Amino acid sequence: MEIIEDGILRCRFTAQKDTHMITYIISPIDIDHDFLSEWAYAHKCNVAVFYGMDWESDLTPWATPAGPAGQEAFAGKGPEFLRQLQEDAIPTVERAIGYRTAPERHLIGVSLSGLFALWAWMQSEFFSSICSISGSLWYVGFVDWLQSLQIPYKHHGAYFSLGSEEPYSHNPLYATVGSATSQTMAILNAAGVCTTFEQNPGNHYAPFLPRLERALAFLQPTA
């Protein structure tokens, strides 16, 4: 188990040499190495967690006012952060693991990083598939942007999950997450992209490690 630092960005990762699959998780917090090791063993893949980024800034695809009153506006530095991942952070991790050729990469995000994961997936084939756990698909303009996009063909699918209480948020913007997720999946399905949805108990802030485990099982089912 190793940790790499890139400015404020941190990455903790496993380094199994006998797998050509790696799942990247963009997390609001560090995840204990014991969890990563267990997941890597169970799903026969390497697992890497990025944390420490500027959450509201780095994970948003464009600038927009924030949701709750008093919260700072979202800066929309997602394009810069995606370049940092693709050109610097991820190659550094993969060199440290010892990959000689590009592995099969998967990406999991939660909340704003769930939004980022889907947005990034639409940009290129860098990631084979994505999981959006309680993804912030309510983000202003996101569904309209996706609707206007020429959806690229995807060999692998996308997984979405929400807590059962999330569509009932007291914040009117956040309460649109259920309909935004349904619309997002309908747009992707119409373009031939396979999608999977799971509902979990609880609200947006319910413990997310069990939700991560379910997402990992979608990406790499236990043999």
Based on DSSP, count helices (H) and strands (E) in the chain, helices before strands.
Answer: 8, 8
Look-up of token digits 């509201």 = 56
User: What does the pLDDT read at residue 67?
Assistant: 61
**Cα separation of 192 and 155, whole Å?**
10
pTM recorded for the entire structure: 0.94
Print burial letters for 65-93: b (CB count within 10 Å at least 16), e (below 16). Answer: eebeeeeeebbbbbeebbebbbeebbeeb
**Cα separation of 105 and 78, whole Å?**
19
User: What does the pLDDT read at residue 104?
Assistant: 95
> H/E element holding 133?
strand 129-133
What strands, in cross-sheet order, belong to the sheet with 195-200? Answer: 2-6, 9-13, 46-51, 21-26, 104-110, 129-133, 158-163, 195-200
Tens-digit pLDDT profile for the chain (223 aa)? 578 777 789 999 999 888 999 999 999 999 999 999 999 999 999 999 999 999 999 999 999 876 655 566 799 999 999 999 999 999 999 999 999 999 999 999 999 999 999 999 999 999 999 999 999 999 999 999 999 999 999 989 999 999 999 999 998 999 999 999 999 999 999 999 999 999 999 999 898 899 999 999 888 754 4
Name the domain count of the chain: 1
Residue 170 is part of a domain; what is its CATH number?
A: 3.40.50.1820
Q: Determine the structural domain holding residue 6 and report its residue range.
A: 2-219
